[in-house]
Amino acid sequence: MYLCLCRGVREADVEQAGRRGLLTPDALISAFGLDDEACCGCCIDRIEEFVVLAQSAAHQAMIPACATTEGGAARRPSPE
């Protein structure tokens, strides 16, 4: 899904930016050129949506795949 029509920014682009460490409004605005004169400015008004999406992707990237099950519940070590 597109988040920014002016710059053609998709959710996946913002998630990738988050995984690369772009997690602040300024970093995301700069990375995607949202402050460009050719843009309508709508996305700067709702930049927090970009930040939440980027931070969520960064957080998910930090969770080791083996720490969760398919259902999302954390695995616990089996008692010995």
- Least distance to ligand FES, CB of residue 8, Å: 9
Count, residues in the chain: 80
d(CA 19, CA 51): 12
Q: Of 14-22, 38-46, 51-59, 68-76, which segment contacts ligand FES by CB under 6 A? A: 38-46
Collapse the DSSP code of 34 into the 3-class scheme (helix H, G, I; strand E, B; otherwise coil) and give the result: coil
When asked if residue 42 is in the footprint of ligand FES (CB under 6 A), the reply is yes
Rounded to 10 degrees, the C-alpha dihedral 49/13/34/52 comes to 20
Q: Of 5-13, 21-29, 56-64, 68-76, which segment contacts ligand FES by CB under 6 A? A: 5-13
Q: What is the contact surface with ligand FES in residues (CB under 6 A)? A: 4-7, 34, 39-43
